[in-house]
Structure 1
Amino acid sequence: MNTDQSFEIFIVTAPGLEAVACAEAQAAGFANPTPVKGGVTVTGGWREVWRANLELRGATRILARVAAFRALHLAQLDKRARRVPWAEFLRPDVPVRVEASCKASRIYHAGAAAQRIERAIAEGLGAPLSAEAEVVIKARIDDDLCTISVDTSGESLHKRGHKEAVNKAPLRETLAALFLRQCGYDGREPVVDPMCGSGTFVIEAAEIAAGLKPGRSRAFAFERLAGFDADAWQALRAAGTAPAPAGLAGRFHGSDRDAGAIAMSRANAGRAGVADWTEFRQHAISDLTAPEGPPGLVIVNPPYGTRIGDRKSLIPLYHAMGQTLMKGFAGWRVGVLTNEPALAKATELPFAEGGVSVSNGGLRVTLHQTGPLP
């Protein structure tokens, strides 16, 4: 592995949030960030790959694009796959698997394409093949162009190693981070989530304010690649870590009417190392009051109505939330996630037109935002 080598890095993110993820990559100092369908491309070397896994809050996974070539048929794919310098980034003693996809190409059988590339790796490098391998090669054949990438993350990056307790429909940390950014949150204001579930928004906001790196507690697939420098990686993990700024206590508030949700949130906050700065209380939405101090952001992922009857039964809940916020949260901005425009309308909150939409748990949801409430 040549740590000075530069190549294209693909930051996979939730479709619909590419521009938000691009803004994060730009703010983090990655070179040439460009939003594309399904993610963001940047350029850099293996150290930037490590840093992207460690620091980017909105990334689902990080792919290192290591080769690209034309392939019009399987024999050509086989031949050209054998020219890829696999030994530069794969180890002969570490199992590997290949995932392939084909789109608008003369090679249309993804399974056959994956087999050819697996054979090239096994015969050229000697690496064992395994359906359970941590190290995954992704081959994307689009318009006869085969792009070979290494999945450097392993498990999805929303799995940060802190949220063991979850409720029925947990919001992924990666989505929470991007929604917070979309709402203009930068770590310097208080955050309230009045239907906190397992605490994702509140914990994510506290981590951002404290400067905690999202990947600090987990392992990554790139640690199993050839030439991985464990000492350099540990130095990168330690770099930039500083004591949390003063004044974080009492700025991050979650509430829920369910006692189990409050217990989950507290446990998750403890594992994430933000328990001292977060507060979780059990009460109904109608009992919500604004914390003392300057206004900030209310962000909430309420229950969705997946069927018509569900939606109608939720209208009173959304209406009560809107009334509570309008009466008691002057100067606060509000972000509400929902899959149904009628539910957003039921809040009677002054939402701006439009709103970013994304798939969450198989449902298309939209982030509705207000400016400061009157």
Structure 2
Amino acid sequence: MTLHDFFAPCPRGLESVLAAELEGLGASSVQGHEGSGRGGVRFRGDWRTCYRANLESRIASRILWRLACLPYASENDVYEATRALPWSDWFDPALTLRVYVAAIQCPLRSLDFITLRIKDAVCDAFRAASGSRPSVDTLQPDMRIHGFLDARTFSLYLDTSGDALFKRGFRNEGGVAPIRENLAAGILALAGWQPGVPLLDPMCGGGTFLLEAAQRSLDIAPGSGRRFAFEKFKGFDPGLWAGVRRTALARQRPPVRQPLFGSDLHGTAVAAARANLSAAGLAEVVMLKQANVLEISAPAASGILVANPPYGVRMGEPERLLVLYPALGSVLKKRFSGWRVYLFSADPLLPKHIRLAASRRIPLFNGARECRLLEYRMVAGGMRGVRRSDEGPLPA
């Protein structure tokens, strides 16, 4: 069994839950990158592990196969290291490619020039080996090559995923300012939600949290409805892949009602969530209704409420939110005793005006936007006496 080095990018702040997920999928030597400025997890595994991670990871953005990690001092060093790799062993020159480059503390002047040099090196290697070279496709390339440079080291990766893994293959309607599916899945993991625990999203928009919870409740592999770049690799093992898929699909349970509840003030949002659930074959799994968040009641004696509330930048109505936030805090105190509440927001006004004491404040990133996941444990008599902690969950 040959082990390879991989890197799984994820939204920054989700490294710990992604590491735990990858270990559960058979990865070894798992190392998160928390605090590095580059969200993701390194791990080792064979091709079965790679196939499983692509098919079953709910939190990773991609699975990148590391081809090289070398010191460098100039653009020419990057070119020569790339040119020396056996590209024609990995994919056919008839396939299209695109090169992506990211860097932290890189002393070289132009990332665009480095990107060009990597592309030239790959094409030159193919031309020398076979007399032909791949074409560049910046929209839908067959192969994606990722370069990463820090102050002294150059790493090169071949993307095994193709389209980003948060593209589950069935979503139709985005709703207003949706969060990506893997970020929603990571938030549910940070919240400690488990299938069978009542879950409510009272501002559900397009239903991303509910979709992720429904899939996990039924043990549906998130990548079961899509294709992957590794299927175009020269070393692709169709028999191994068929077995990985067959094992995952055998665990899937039939779509029966789960204690998953969603609502939204706007009928268009509820319709979008219903359309997305229907596209995934999950319409009967989740209970949806149109309702004002300030008028709802808890659907069970205890559970988890998760929401991505509106914020000033998105809505353009900060004055209205100064009324909404304290009213929301009052509703949570009065009607959700026994629940844990998780609010994901980029709005610094929310924790100040909701008038609740957060037991956790977890920094997360929605793309480039820094956000917070705020945990509130709703107990009888409010939050007095509940210890605050920014370092981890409170004891259950």
Please say which of residues 169-178 and 341-350 is displaced more in the overlay.
Answer: 341-350
Contact 1:82/1:124 (<8 A) preserved = no
Deviations 1:225-266 (A, max 9, x none): 112122321221121334656996240100001111111111
Q: Distance in 2 between matches of 1:226 and 1:251?
A: 45
5+ residue gaps, structure 2, are 381-396
2:124 paired residue among 120, 128, 134: 120
CA RMSD of aligned residues (A): 2.4
Which of 350, 355, 359 is the equivalent residue of 2:357?
Answer: 350
- Structure 1 residue runs without a partner (length 5+): none
Equivalent position to 2:106, from 104, 107, 116: 104
The 8 Å contact of residues 87 and 122 in structure 2, kept in 1 or not, is answered as no
Amino acid at match of 1:352: S
Q: Is contact 1:311–1:343 with CA below 8 Å preserved after alignment?
A: no
1:90 Cα deviation (Å)? 1.7
Report the CA distance between 1:361 and its aligned residue. 5.4
CA distance 1:306–1:77, shift in 2 (3 Å): closer
Partner Cα distance (1:101, 1:193) in 2: 35
Q: Offset of 1:362 from its aligned partner?
A: 4.6
Q: Deviations over 1:171-204 (max 9, x none)?
A: 1111100111111112230100000000111111
SS of the equivalent of 2:149 reads strand
Is 1:33 the equivalent of 2:30? yes
Aligned twin of 1:240? 248
* Structure 1 pair 244–149 and aligned structure 2 pair: CA distance change class (3 A): closer
> 1:298 aligned to 2:341?
no
**Aligned-partner residue type, residue 96 of structure 2:** P
C-alpha separation in 2, matches of 1:145 and 1:163:
39
Please say which of residues 187-196 and 62-71 is displaced more in the overlay.
Answer: 62-71
1:90-139 CA-to-partner distances (Å, cap 9, x unmatched) read: 22332223233455345854244324423333324434121332201112
Q: Distance in 1 between matches of 2:214 and 2:29?
A: 29
TM-superposition CA deviations, 1:17-61 (whole Å, max 9, x none): 222222222333321211113100110122222111111111111
Deviation at 1:273, TM superposition (A): 2.3
Distance change (3 Å), C-alpha of 1:75 and 1:29: closer
**Alignment partner for residue 323 of structure 1, among 330, 336, 339?**
330
Distance in 2 (alpha carbons) for counterparts of 1:201 and 1:307: 19
- Please state how far the C-alpha of 1:360 moved relative to its aligned partner: 2.1
Cα distance between partner residues in 2 of 1:312 and 1:104 = 43
Give the match's secondary structure for 2:7: strand
Partner of 2:72: 71
1:372 CA drift (Å): 4.6
Query: What percent of counterpart residues are identical?
Result: 32
For residues 27 and 239 of structure 2, what CA distance do their matches in structure 1 show?
22
What is the match of residue 393 of structure 2?
none
Letter in 2 for 1:141: L
Tell me, yes or no, if the aligned pair for 1:192 and 1:297 is still in contact at 8 Å.
yes
Q: Match for residue 153 of structure 1?
A: 161
Identify the match of residue 375 of structure 2 among 365, 369, 373.
Answer: 369
Pairing of 1:214-363 with structure 2 (within 5 A): 214-242=222-250, 249-292=257-300, 294-306=301-313, 310-353=317-360, 355-360=361-366, 362-363=368-369
With normalisation by structure 1, the TM-score equals: 0.90
Q: Does 1:8 align with 2:9?
A: no
For residues 366 and 255 of structure 1, what CA distance do their matches in structure 2 show? 22
Query: Residues 68-217 of structure 1: matches in 2 within 5 Å?
Result: 68-101=69-102, 103-105=105-107, 109-125=113-129, 126-132=132-138, 133-217=141-225
Secondary structure at the residue paired with 2:249?
A: coil
Query: In structure 1, what residue type is equivalent to 2:337?
Result: A
Structure 1 residue matching 2:373: 3-state secondary structure? strand
After the TM superposition, which of the residue ranges 323-332 and 197-206 deviates more from structure 2?
Answer: 323-332
Distance 2:242 2:96 in 1: 24
Matched length: 369
Letter in 2 for 1:323: S
1:26 is aligned with what amino acid?
E
